[in-house]
C-alpha cells in the first residue's frame, strides 16, 4: 500500500467514522484534556493499522477494534501529554441546543447521563454498551471482542438493566 | 423509559461533540509519531546490544594484547548476553499483538508480553548478571594466581569484586522495583480485563 493510498483511506475513515471514534473516546475518558489525548492516540493507531486492512473485516469492526484496544491500553497509566507537539484537533463541548427544542434538550441530557453511566461500567462492559447503543449486531460485537455471541447476549442483558436502572431517575425527571 | 428509548436518543445525537480537525497537521503528527517510535525502539536496541558488543570488543582487544585466555571468557559472556537479548527481542516482536486484533486476543497477547517481561526482570540475575559475574570472577582469580604480589592483588581484587557486587545488587533491585511498580499492576489489570471476557 502506498502512502497516498493510506492517506486516502485515513481521510475517508475520518469523514465516515469520526462519530464512532468520538463515541468510544467520550465513553472511555471524562475530562476534555483526556478525551483529546485519547482521541489523538486512537487516530495514530488507526493510521498505523491501515496497511494491514485488507477489507476482510467491515470498516466499522476494524475501527472499533483499534479504538477499544487503544482505549484499554491508554487506561493502563500510559497517558502521555503531547507537550511541544502540534495539536491537530480541537474538541468542543456538546452542540448548543435551543431552549425551545425541549425534546432535543432532554435527549441531550439523556445522552450525557448515558456517557457518565457508561464510564462507570467495567471497561469491557463499557465497550459492549457503546456498540450496543450504536446498534451493532451480536455477530459484529462478537467479532470486535473475540467472544461468543451467546456470551454477548448474557452480558448485554445485565448491562441493559444496569443502564436502565442508572438512568431511571433522569428519564423520570425529564 | 426503556433501553430502546435510550438507544434512540443516543443514535439521534451522533457523537454529541463538535470536532475541528486540521487534517494536514494530523497527518504530519501521525508520521512524526511513527518516526519517533521507530527511532526510540532502534536506539534502545542499539544501547542495550551495543553495550554488550562494546564490552566484548574491549575484552577481546585486551585478551589478544595480553594473551590472557580468561579474558576470552568475558568476550564469550558479553556476546552470549547480547545474543540472548537480540533473539528474545525478535521472538517477542513476532508475538506482539496488533491494534486491530479482537479485544480478547489483544489482551491475551499483551498479558503474555507483560508476563515475559516480568520473567525476564525477575531472572535478570541468571541471564545477565551471572554470566558476566562468572567471567569477572575467573579473570580476577587467574590474575591472583599468576601474580607475584599476591596480597596486593587479593586486596585490590576484593575491593573490585565488592564494587561489582554492589553494582549488581543495585541493578537487581532496580529491576525488581520496575516489576513491582509498573509491570505487576499492569499484569493484574490485564488479568482482570481477561477475566471479564471469560
The domain ranges of chain B are 1-95, 101-198
Contact B17 A49 (CB under 8 A): no
ipTM of the complex: 0.77
Residues of A in contact with B21 (CB under 8 A): 14, 18, 88-89
B41 touches chain A (CB under 8 A): no
- Closest residue in A to B97 (Cα–Cα): A69
Contact A146/B23, CB-based, under 8 Å?
no
Closest chain A residue to the Cα of B185, Cα to Cα? A76
Scanning B147-183, the segments in alpha helix (DSSP H) are 150-178
Cβ–Cβ under 8 Å, residues B114 and B97: no
Helix pair A102-120, B3-12: axis angle to 10 deg: 110
Span B47-94, pLDDT tens digits: 888 888 998 999 999 889 888 888 898 899 999 999 999 999 899 888
- Cβ contact A101:B173 at 8 Å: no
More confident site: B38 or B159: B159
Instruction: Give Cα separations from A57 to A60, A65, A92, A140, B100 (angstroms).
Output: 8, 11, 32, 10, 10
CATH dotted code for A1-80: 1.10.1740.10
**A36-40, A87-91, A165-169, B6-10: which range is least confident on average?**
A87-91
- pLDDT tens figures, A86-134: 555 555 554 333 444 445 777 778 888 889 999 999 888 999 999 999 9
As a three-state string, the secondary structure of chain A is CCHHHHHHHHHHHHHHHHHHHHHHHHHHCCCHHHHHHHHHHHHHHHHHHHHHCCCCCCHHHHHHHHHHHHHHHHCCCCCCCCCCCCCCEEEECCCCCCCCCHHHHHHHHHHHHHHHHHHHCCHHHHHHHHHHHCCCCHHHHHHHHCCCHHHHHHHHHHHHHHHHHHHHHHHHHC
pLDDT at A139 exceeding the cut of 90: yes
Q: Least CA distance to A107: which residue of chain B?
A: B9
Per-domain residue ranges of chain A: 1-80, 98-174
Residue that the C-alpha cell 489489570 belongs to = B189
- Give the pLDDT confidence of A22-62 residue by residue, as tens digits: 899 988 888 888 888 888 889 888 988 999 998 888 899 99
Domain A98-174, CATH number (from 2.40.40.20, 3.40.50.150, 1.10.10.10, 3.30.70.600): 1.10.10.10
Q: Which residues between 67 and 126 in chain B have a beta carbon less than 8 angstroms from any beta carbon of chain A?
A: 97-107, 110
Residues 57-86 of A with CB under 8 A from B: 57, 62, 65-66, 68-70, 72-73, 76-77, 85-86
How confident is the model over A104-113, as pLDDT tens digits? Answer: 777 778 888 8
Amino acid at each position: 500500500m502506498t502512502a497516498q493510498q493510506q492517506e486516502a483511506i485515513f481521510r475517508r475513515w475520518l469523514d465516515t467514522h469520526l462519530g464512532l471514534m468520538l463515541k468510544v473516546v467520550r465513553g472511555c475518558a471524562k475530562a476534555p484534556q483526556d478525551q483529546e489525548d485519547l482521541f489523538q492516540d486512537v487516530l495514530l493507531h488507526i493510521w498505523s493499522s491501515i496497511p494491514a486492512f485488507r477489507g476482510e473485516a467491515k470498516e466499522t469492526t476494524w475501527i472499533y477494534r483499534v479504538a477499544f484496544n487503544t482505549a484499554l491500553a491508554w487506561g493502563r497509566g500510559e497517558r502521555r501529554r503531547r507537550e511541544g507537539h502540534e495539536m491537530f484537533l480541537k474538541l468542543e463541548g456538546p452542540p448548543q441546543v435551543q431552549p425551545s427544542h425541549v425534546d432535543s434538550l432532554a435527549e441531550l441530557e439523556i445522552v450525557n447521563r448515558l456517557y457518565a453511566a457508561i464510564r462507570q461500567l467495567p471497561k469491557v462492559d463499557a465497550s459492549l454498551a457503546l456498540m450496543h447503543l450504536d446498534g451493532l449486531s451480536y455477530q459484529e460485537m462478537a467479532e470486535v471482542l473475540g467472544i461468543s455471541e451467546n456470551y454477548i447476549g448474557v452480558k448485554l442483558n445485565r448491562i441493559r438493566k444496569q443502564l436502565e436502572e442508572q438512568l431511571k431517575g433522569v428519564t423520570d425527571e425529564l | 423509559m426503556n433501553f430502546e428509548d435510550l438507544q434512540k436518543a443516543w443514535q439521534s445525537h451522533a457523537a454529541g461533540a463538535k470536532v475541528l480537525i486540521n487534517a494536514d497537521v494530523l497527518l504530519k503528527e501521525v508520521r512524526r509519531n511513527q518516526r519517533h517510535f521507530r527511532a526510540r525502539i532502534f536506539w534502545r536496541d542499539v544501547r542495550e546490544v551495543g553495550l554488550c558488543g562494546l564490552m566484548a570488543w574491549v575484552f577481546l582487544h585486551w585478551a589478544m594484547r595480553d594473551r590472557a585466555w580468561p579474558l576470552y571468557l568475558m568476550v564469550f559472556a558479553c556476546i552470549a548476553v547480547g545474543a540472548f537479548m537480540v533473539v528474545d527481542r525478535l521472538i517477542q516482536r513476532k508475538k506482539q499483538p496488533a491494534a486491530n486484533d479482537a479485544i480478547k486476543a489483544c489482551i491475551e497477547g499483551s498479558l503474555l508480553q507483560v508476563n515475559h517481561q516480568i520473567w525476564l526482570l525477575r531472572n535478570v540475575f541468571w541471564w545477565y548478571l551471572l554470566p558476566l559475574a562468572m567471567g569477572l570472577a575467573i579473570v580476577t582469580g587467574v590474575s591472583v594466581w599468576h601474580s607475584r604480589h599476591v596480597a596486593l592483588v587479593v586486596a585490590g581484587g576484593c575491593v573490585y569484586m565488592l564494587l561489582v557486587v554492589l553494582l549488581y545488587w543495585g541493578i537487581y533491585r532496580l529491576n525488581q522495583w520496575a516489576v513491582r511498580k509498573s509491570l505487576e499492576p499492569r499484569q493484574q489489570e490485564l488479568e482482570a480485563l481477561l477475566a471479564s471476557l471469560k
